[in-house]
Amino acid sequence: MTIIPEIRPGQSVELLKELHIITRDGKINQDTRRKLKQVYHLYNFIEPLLKDLETQGSFSVVDHGAGKSYLGFILYDLFLKNIANAQMIGIETREDLVKKSVELAQKLNFSRMKFLNLSVEQSISMKDLPEQVDLVTALHACDTATDDAIKFALEKKSKYVVIVPCCQAELATTLRKNKQKSLTKSVMTEIWRHPIHTREFGSHLTNVLRCLELEANGYQVTVTELIGWEHSMKNELIIAKFMDLPRNLPEQKINRILEELNLEEMKFRFLQK
């Protein structure tokens, strides 16, 4: 097979083939080289968190809304497979994707990977899952699936939360429903009066409220652009670390934003107690 200098030592070539990052005959072209670069770029954000967790001696990572478990396999291959007491758990509601992930993990002998066909509510109470997890990830979990991942992380007292949100529609729908009432309340409604602006503003506002929600639960939050994923509009990376910070101010901010924008009915989403 052709030597590909971009591939890191010890990385599973078979996995990269399964993920279509390299071709079946072991080659790489311009498009797949770019994809591999993107994989490493995301991993570079998460690796320091894994190194911190490694000092605990044992730890668990849960990928919520895992889909095909693309992220979980990469994290396991690049880091967790060499840590004897580390576990990778993928949670996904689509049974067919869970089955395929189980088969791939068995094929690659990734013995400390587990995949569960569960909803968020089921995963919170599932006895087979640790009472406390250490890192929760959600890569492009669509719409409220990202909120489900946050809820799971809060319930499980996760030390780290890493999410790349996707396709936020719920808040925009509520803004649209209450638009007439808002137009008479504040001139600031002009920011999102037109439908395309409603969608964009709703998406941005959703992520703002998610960050405040994490802060309202004691987390220190960093938001950055996921540079390297330039072919996706969903390019926002939110990283949160539990620091037991004061909660009152972020809670107040959530309430004020929701009241100002006639979104009080969404308190259940961002004020989870």
Encode pLDDT of 197-245 as tens digits. 999 999 999 999 999 999 999 999 999 987 654 445 567 899 999 999 9
Higher model confidence: residue 188 or residue 51?
Answer: 51
The first and second tokens of residue 195, run together, are: 């439908």
Q: How far apart are CA 263 and CA 125, in angstroms?
A: 30
On whether both 144 and 50 belong to a single domain, the answer is yes
On whether both 156 and 30 belong to a single domain, the answer is yes
List C-alpha distances in Å: 32 to 38, 42, 104, 203.
10, 16, 20, 30
Q: Report pTM.
A: 0.91
Query: Are the C-beta atoms of residues 99 and 116 closer than 8 Å to each other?
Result: no
Q: How far apart are CA 196 and CA 255, in angstroms?
A: 25
Amino acid at 244: D
Q: Is residue 181 part of a domain?
A: yes
Query: Mean pLDDT over residues 189-193, rounded?
Result: 92
Q: Is residue 51 part of a domain?
A: yes
On whether both 104 and 144 belong to a single domain, the answer is yes
**Residue 262 lies in domain:** 169-217+243-273
Higher model confidence: residue 150 or residue 140?
Answer: 150
Query: Which pLDDT band, with edges at 50, 70 and 90, does 23 fall under?
Result: confident
Q: Is residue 122 part of a domain?
A: yes
The total of structural domains in the chain comes to 2
On whether both 206 and 79 belong to a single domain, the answer is no
CATH number of the CATH domain containing 14: 3.40.50.150
Question: Which of 100, 132, 167 delimits the end of a domain?
Answer: 167
On whether both 2 and 136 belong to a single domain, the answer is yes
DSSP H or E segment with residue 101: helix 95-108
Confidence (pLDDT) at 229: 46
**pLDDT(26) > 80:** no
Q: Is residue 8 part of a domain?
A: yes
Rounded to 10 degrees, the C-alpha dihedral 208/213/219/222 comes to -10
Q: Is residue 226 part of a domain?
A: no
Higher model confidence: residue 184 or residue 249?
Answer: 249
Q: Is residue 197 part of a domain?
A: yes
Percent of the chain with pLDDT over 90: 62
Q: How far apart are CA 115 and CA 98, in angstroms?
A: 6
On whether both 24 and 47 belong to a single domain, the answer is yes
Question: Which of 145, 167, 189 delimits the end of a domain?
Answer: 167
